Amino acid sequence: MAINSHLALKDHLRERRLVNARLIFAALFSVLLFTGVIIRLVVLQVVEYDHFDSLANKNRVDIEPLPPQRGLIFDRNGVVLAENMPTFSLELVPEKVPDLPATINALTELLQINETDLLRFHEQLKQNRAFEQVTLRYQLTEKEVARFSINRHRFPGVDVVGRLIRHYPQGELFAHAIGYVGRINQQDLLIINPQNYKGTLQIGKTGVEKQYEDLLHGTVGYRQVETNVQGRTVRELKSEPSHPGKDLYLHLDIGLQRTAVEALAGENGSVVAMDPRNGGILAMVSQPDFDPNLFVSGISIKNYSALRDSLERPLYDRSLRGHYPPGSTLKPFVALAGLELGVVNEQSRTYCPGWYSLPGHSHRYRCWKHQGHGHMNALDAMAQSCDVYFYDLAHALGIDRMHNFLDMFSLGRKTGVDIPNESGGLLPSSEWKRNSRNQAWFPGETLIAGIGQGFNQTTPLQLAHAASILAMRGTAHTPKLVRASRSGGQQDLQLMPSSEPVTLPIQNADNWQAVIDSMVEVIHGQRGTARHIGEKMPFNIAGKTGTAQVFGIAQDEKYDAETLEKKLHDHALFIAFAPADDPEFAVAVVVENGGSGSKTAAPIAKKMIERYFNLPAELTAEQLEAIESESLPAPSEAVIDE
Amino acid sequence: MSELLSQPRRRRYRPLGYWLQNTHIDGLLMLGLLALLTVSMVVLYSSGGEDIGLSIRQAVRMSIAFVVLFIAAQIHPDRLRDFAYWLYSLGLLLLIAVLLFGDMGKGAQRWLELGFMRFQPSEIMKIAVPLLVASYLSERPLAPSFLRIVTALMIIAIPTVLIAKQPDLGTAMLIASAGLVVIFLAGISWKLIFSFVAILAAAAPLLWFNMHAYQQRRVLTFLNPENDPLGAGYHIIQSKIAIGSGGLNGRGWLQGTQSHLEFLPERSTDFIFAVIAEEFGLVGVVLLIMLYLLITARGLFIASQAQTSFGGLLAGSLAITFLVYVFVNIGMVTGLLPVVGVPLPLVSYGGTSMVTLLAGFGILMSIHTHRRMMSP
């Protein structure tokens, strides 16, 4: 028993020593292992800390641009012409979408995304970098927003984004003048500062929207946000607010604009009205027009090709780019040239037998009145638009003297209006012909040029501008659409800096009066070509009709509107300003294939004048009320030092 | 003898010690565990997105687990020893049941639906395997004979294979190591250990070249998850970022960006260590590791003081296995070891493993506090 007990005890002690030795070994081994673990932690948390810290920050901090709100555009009365409308669009960040095709399929099912959207999306996808958002669908309805919100968890990297998009409440009415904004494309990217356009989707493409892009756009702001693993914003770290673009106040008047469109009554053509005292463009209409809202979020291919391929060319801004022979509307300027250069005086007479021949030639240049006007002085010739008088005058002036004089009125060259894409046109000279065609100038061409035909090409804007210079007796203001701007949140308007007016170097001021008198005779004279519009006017209007040939008529043929196709009909033109002795309003009208300037174009100008001076208007009381209710109180003006 | 004489006096002066002794609770171990569970509640509040509910649920589970610990501490080690075969058999039965009728959870079949709760039979094996191996090996004087070692290996291998088939490699590995630790502590000769290692080393290439290419790829990904950054590697990359960005002092409690912004997956469970490292820095994690080491040290001390070799083997195995859990989890989260899905013991959110672990500590306390009632 004792031995057994002793043995058991000894056995127990031996076992215990064995187990304890192993325990000590295990403890030491554990310490060794955990020393390794701690070394690993030191490497991660101390040695490589910077590396992981920057990775962690990259993981979570996202810089979001805050696009500025685009400035609004108002007409002279404060009627909104371009505004920003809140819309919801579905946007995705390709980088953050795990399975793009599957996501798009699922979204297509959920929200009825059509072919056009997908096409546009894929196009965008190629252009954008992977971390930039691409719009899949614009203008979601509230229902669609709700439907997506419920399913949002299924679509990491996809989100509904509320944005302001441009909207033109007046639709077509200002399409050409104001233009439109559209998606920023590759060409735009070359010009803009991409930093400032982070988050901005649209940029001015034409008209005022393009020209004043810098003012309208504003300055981008930033928001540093923390995002979670799906790229959704969790909280804001810091932000720098954006500065909204400036609002623009135009010279354009919505009433005049409407009047012009109504007066053109579906004819193709253009009406440009200006305030000659400052060059402000009061109306600028080109018909036909288009809805600029179509372009804002990317026009569909179908819509675009319909606009582009239309024979009526609605996208073409006739007021800025339409080249029309000025026809007889050039005569006041030619007459002024004759008086100023001493070729004729007010009393000089020319006999009109209905045709004119250059000395030594047999070719007969016909007057529009085949039986002839008889003896004509400058006043009569203007009132009755006698071609023969001007053939003779032009011949006496010679093409180059005539060109140099008319050039002062910016005819056939750009006026410098404050919207892009203005076209020059052509005021012919012998030098021009030699340079461009390598041909000598023929004396017969001088005669044709003298009545505004032949090579002469002017735009409606140039005609309105030239009429304004005439109205102001030689003081030329550069035509301008934008009158003033207003910084966000401020009440005061800042007038646009304007260039100093140019005064034409005319020696004898009486010559202005003589020409203007003759233009008054056109409207108020007994034989004036536009005498039908002068009735019941409380003041004198100075004007000139013009009828421009679209094609040449052979020597013995007669122009017969009945048998001609519409597109070969003459263009009808008219320029005018009023009141003649203290002009406030100048207008140029071109009606394509309108026939006669007197019958077609002059009444349009009359309506414009009536509208401007609030003469017995053709607008009904209801319409007036509608306009007034749209108008905002005009902000007070602050004149800035120049 | 002098110890026994001084006991009544000590009882008078230290009523807490007396109380603890009579409820079979080890004060130091209890202190360590409570400290660890406090850490768990604090960290879970942060990792769970400041949801106090998560901490409360964890506290409720803890209370249940402490009841289990208390009960386990009351059971005399000898009763436990008698119970070993039954517990092991029950565990095996349930494991087979799981393979046949188990619930699928996260792609693995581990759970048994008991109506009122879900139960993971592999947890039983965490106790049952070391218990049976210790019991079996201590039947004969140590060190064990070769035959007994082979039998012990069989006892370990059966549940390990069943659990690995679920598949739950992490738990299978832990259970195997719990059993192997017992064999190691029982005094298996170093010669034998090296022979086994040599055989394994020799077998590995043979196994490798007999695998299909896709199996080889899977093994490689398992061993180096960072080769697959969007799949298996995502967890480990994100967890390394979280740990590394914690730096020396951490970002502060509730300030961890990776965990709060959901970059870190499984942040309340398997990857909770990364949250601690991010928010409390190197200082915090070293303190935590020290706490784990202290708890283990106390366990090893208890093992060394055990009066039977059964108690010594079981206590040693439980203490070392606890540390193995810690090592495997931290090794996985820091990218030292493959990702095997082992929670950080007593800190990770989850009930079952906590109950098992505290039951294990209850056994440790029982081994320690029942000492004096045995005759030498």
Q: Please give the helix or strand (H or E) that residue A234 lies within, else none.
A: strand A233-240
Domain end position, chosen among B210, B244, B266: B210
Domain end position, chosen among B184, B210, B236: B210
Phi-psi region of B281 (alpha: psi -120 to 50; beta: other; left: phi over 0): left
User: What is the rounded CA–CA span in Å between residue A175 and residue A284?
Assistant: 10
User: What is the rounded CA–CA span in Å between residue A508 and residue A441?
Assistant: 30
Q: Please give the helix or strand (H or E) that residue B280 lies within, else none.
A: helix B272-305
> Mind telling me the catalytic residues of A?
328
Put simply, whether B277 touches A (Cβ < 8 Å) is yes
HEC letters along A324-344: ECCHHHHHHHHHHHHHHCCCC
- Total domains in the fold of chain B: 2
B243, B262, B304 member nearest A228 (Cβ): B262
Put simply, whether A227 touches B (Cβ < 8 Å) is yes
Together in a domain, B228 and B300? yes
Number of neighbouring beta carbons within 10 Å of residue B371: 16
Q: Which CATH architecture has domain A254-297+320-628?
A: 3-Layer(aba) Sandwich (3.40)
pLDDT, mean of residues A347-371: 88
Look at B243 and A26 and tell me if their CB atoms are within 8 Å: no
Look at B245 and A34 and tell me if their CB atoms are within 8 Å: no
Residues of A in contact with B263 (CB under 8 A): 59-60, 228-229
A19, A30, A52 member nearest B244 (Cβ): A52
Burial state string for A450-485 with b = 16 or more CB within 10 A and e = fewer than 16 = bbbbbbbbbbbbbbbbbbbbbbbbbebbbbbbbbbb
A19, A45, A53 member nearest B309 (Cβ): A19
Residues of B in contact with A22 (CB under 8 A): 184-187, 316
Strand, coil or helix: what is A226? strand
Interface of B with A in 162-221 (CB under 8 A): 181, 184-187
Look at A41 and B258 and tell me if their CB atoms are within 8 Å: no
The Cα of A194 is separated from the nearest Cα of chain B by a number of Å equal to 30
Look at A229 and B186 and tell me if their CB atoms are within 8 Å: no
Secondary structure letter of residue A47 according to DSSP:
I
ipTM score above 0.90: no
pLDDT score recorded for residue A303: 84
Look at B312 and A56 and tell me if their CB atoms are within 8 Å: no
A15, A41, A59 member nearest B334 (Cβ): A41
A30, A51, A230 member nearest B296 (Cβ): A30
Look at A49 and B244 and tell me if their CB atoms are within 8 Å: yes
User: What is the rounded CA–CA span in Å between residue A22 and residue A17?
Assistant: 9
Chosen from A10, A13, A24, A30 to mutate, greatest number of chain B CBs within 10 A: A30
B262, B277, B327 member nearest A33 (Cβ): B327
Together in a domain, B90 and B204? yes
Look at A49 and B247 and tell me if their CB atoms are within 8 Å: yes
pLDDT surpasses 70 at A640? no
User: What is the rounded CA–CA span in Å between residue B106 and residue B118?
Assistant: 14
Together in a domain, B88 and B199? yes
pLDDT surpasses 50 at A635? no
Together in a domain, B332 and B233? yes
User: What is the rounded CA–CA span in Å between residue A27 and residue A25?
Assistant: 5
Put simply, whether B317 touches A (Cβ < 8 Å) is no
Look at A229 and B142 and tell me if their CB atoms are within 8 Å: no
Query: Residue B301 falls within a domain, yes or no?
Result: yes
Most confidently predicted of A133-137, A366-370, A467-471, B210-214: A467-471
pLDDT score recorded for residue A567: 72
Query: Residue B91 falls within a domain, yes or no?
Result: yes
pLDDT score recorded for residue A619: 47
Look at A59 and B258 and tell me if their CB atoms are within 8 Å: yes
Look at B303 and A23 and tell me if their CB atoms are within 8 Å: yes
Put simply, whether A27 touches B (Cβ < 8 Å) is yes
Burial state string for B244-280 with b = 16 or more CB within 10 A and e = fewer than 16 = bbbbeebbeeeebbbbbbebbebbbbbbbbbbbbbbb
pLDDT, mean of residues A451-470: 92
Q: What is the pLDDT of residues A538-566, one digit of tens each?
A: 889 999 999 888 765 555 555 666 666 77
A19, A37, A48 member nearest B316 (Cβ): A19
Burial state string for A294-311 with b = 16 or more CB within 10 A and e = fewer than 16 = bbbbbbeeeeeeebeeee
User: What is the rounded CA–CA span in Å between residue A453 and residue A446?
Assistant: 10
CATH superfamily, region A64-250: Penicillin-binding protein 2a (Domain 2) (3.90.1310.10)
Look at A52 and B243 and tell me if their CB atoms are within 8 Å: yes
Q: How far is CA A234 from CA A65, A217, A229, B255, B262, in A?
A: 16, 29, 10, 14, 11
The Cα of B211 is separated from the nearest Cα of chain A by a number of Å equal to 31
Q: What is the pLDDT of residues A131-180, one digit of tens each?
A: 567 888 877 888 888 888 888 888 888 888 888 889 999 989 999 999 99
Closest to A178 measured CA to CA, from A190, A187, A166, A196:
A166
% pLDDT > 90, chain A:
37
Query: Residue B268 falls within a domain, yes or no?
Result: yes
Put simply, whether B274 touches A (Cβ < 8 Å) is no
pLDDT tens-place values along chain B, 376 residues long: 455 555 555 545 667 777 788 888 888 999 999 999 999 999 988 888 777 888 888 888 889 899 999 999 999 998 989 989 999 999 999 888 888 876 555 445 566 665 445 668 888 899 999 999 999 998 888 778 889 999 999 999 999 998 888 777 788 889 999 999 999 999 888 999 999 899 988 888 887 887 777 667 767 777 776 666 555 667 787 888 889 888 888 888 888 777 776 677 788 888 899 999 999 999 999 999 999 999 999 999 999 988 888 999 999 999 999 999 999 999 988 888 887 778 899 999 877 788 889 999 999 999 998 876 444 4
Model's pTM, two decimal places?
Answer: 0.60
Output the six-digit token pair for A193: 């500062």
Query: Residue B3 falls within a domain, yes or no?
Result: no
Q: Return residue ranges of chain A for CATH 3.90.1310.10.
A: 64-250
Residues across chain B: 376
Residues 6+ apart with CB under 8 A from B206: none
The pLDDT mean for chain A works out to 84
Put simply, whether A640 touches B (Cβ < 8 Å) is no
Domain limits at B257? 37-60+224-354
Secondary structure letter of residue B166 according to DSSP:
T
Chosen from A7, A14, A22 to mutate, greatest number of chain B CBs within 10 A: A22
User: What is the rounded CA–CA span in Å between residue B28 and residue B116?
Assistant: 35
User: What is the rounded CA–CA span in Å between residue A387 and residue A460?
Assistant: 22
Chosen from A24, A41, A50 to mutate, greatest number of chain B CBs within 10 A: A41
Together in a domain, B147 and B188? yes
Put simply, whether A55 touches B (Cβ < 8 Å) is yes
Q: Return residue ranges of chain A for CATH 3.40.710.10.
A: 254-297+320-628
Residues of B in contact with A15 (CB under 8 A): 141-142, 187, 309, 312
Q: Which amino acid is at B91?
A: G
User: What is the rounded CA–CA span in Å between residue B272 and residue B270?
Assistant: 6
Residues of B in contact with A11 (CB under 8 A): 141
pLDDT, mean of residues A301-323: 88
Interface of A with B in 501-560 (CB under 8 A): none
Look at B331 and A37 and tell me if their CB atoms are within 8 Å: yes
pLDDT score recorded for residue A180: 92
